[in-house]
Amino acid sequence: MKLHILGCYAATPRTLTNPTSQVLEVKNHMFLIDCGEGTQVQLRKHKIKFSRINHIFISHLHGDHFFGLPGLVSTFRLLGRDKELHIYGPKGIKEAITLLLKLGDSWTNYQLYFHELTNKEPEIIFEDNKVTVETIRLSHRVYTNGFLFKEKVGERKLSIEAVAKYKIDKAYFQNIKNGRDVTLDNGTVVPNAELSFDPPPPKSYAYCSDTGYKPDIVGQISNATALYHESTFLETEAHLAVKTKHSTAKEAAAIAKAANVGSLILGHYSTRYKSIDLFKEEALEVFPNVELADDGKFFEF
């Protein structure tokens, strides 16, 4: 599971910072999460292939989280894309994007599917045989979702020594990986535990931006491998966090601690502060494993 931070600052684009956008690589998927202005430039800068992006998840309809989307959809067309593209976001996103395509007479030459979200409770919005994606209901000034990406339990790992010992034919290997026992020609049943090893524990990634302090998400994101949680303000500006429905670094750390996540990644910083190191210092007072997102930063879990 790999995370590419394309942008992680609040509000407007600047010469040295970009609004929110990131790419999560998991089980051969490359999911784009939010799409602020400049996203496609960042994709090119960090050599992320446009053609690998088939699913885009938009948390809410504030500009710093989706104003880069119309341009990206248009660029896919100019690049001759023929694979379908799925966009998941709040109700209204289809109208916003298709209006621009209509006015510019630039309909896509590929299938474009919108999955508009209105549910106020968590729901699974994507699932295949390796991954699920479910919404995390957040608290912001407009309808907003976070996203929880979860790997499914993988196949068991074959013990080469064990199958050689019992002279088991390759035809049974997939059944062993699926957890089945094997019956030998002499009637002896060899238990699966002797023929295979447990798969690696499935990983999960929780993305929470933008939101006010919302402790009732703790149960849903409990034990996540990593949590990205907005930290727009420091505690010295906690009154602004309440007013704008954002979080402080301390509040993000409190969520991470209560959920017992593996690591906390802070982001969505207000640019009023001289250094983002201040956010880490504040969060470390509450939670021990804190990382700072920054434009171009890469994480591997």
Residue 115 in marked binding region: no
Sheet bearing 124-127, strands edge to edge: 124-127, 131-137, 145-151, 204-208, 226-230, 263-267, 290-292
Q: Which amino acid is at 184?
A: L
Residue 82 in marked binding region: no
CA distances from 103 to 34, 67, 78, 84, 89 (A): 24, 16, 17, 22, 22
Nearest alpha carbon to residue 301 among 213, 155, 189, 202: 202
What is residue 180's predicted lDDT score, i.e. its pLDDT?
Answer: 95
What is residue 151's predicted lDDT score, i.e. its pLDDT?
Answer: 98
**Other CB atoms within 10 Å distance of the CB of residue 301:** 15
CA distances from 195 to 126, 181, 186, 258 (A): 33, 8, 17, 39
Q: Which residues pair with 5 in a beta bridge?
A: 22
What is residue 66's predicted lDDT score, i.e. its pLDDT?
Answer: 98
What is residue 212's predicted lDDT score, i.e. its pLDDT?
Answer: 98
Handedness of CA 276, 282, 285, 287 (dihedral sign): negative
- Mean pLDDT by runs of 10 across the 301 residues of the chain is 98 94 98 98 97 98 98 96 98 97 94 98 97 98 98 94 94 94 94 94 97 98 98 98 98 98 98 97 98 98 95
What is residue 207's predicted lDDT score, i.e. its pLDDT?
Answer: 98
DSSP state of 51: G
Residue 86 in marked binding region: no
Architecture (CATH level 2) of domain 2-154+200-300: 4-Layer Sandwich (3.60)
Q: Which of 64, 128, 216, 277 is catalytic?
A: 64
Structure tokens at 99: 């209006």
Does residue 64 have an active-site annotation?
Answer: yes
Phi, psi (degrees; rounded to nearest 5) at 204: -145, 150
Residue 140 in marked binding region: yes
Break the chain into its structural domains and give their ranges. Answer: 2-154+200-300, 159-197
Residue 295 in marked binding region: no
Nearest alpha carbon to residue 85 among 2, 44, 94: 94
Q: What's the CA gap between 20 and 208, in Å, rounded?
A: 12
What is residue 284's predicted lDDT score, i.e. its pLDDT?
Answer: 98
Q: What's the CA gap between 45 and 60, in Å, rounded?
A: 25
> Is 77:106 a contact under the CB 8 Å cutoff?
yes
Place of tokens 């938009």: 58
What is residue 67's predicted lDDT score, i.e. its pLDDT?
Answer: 98
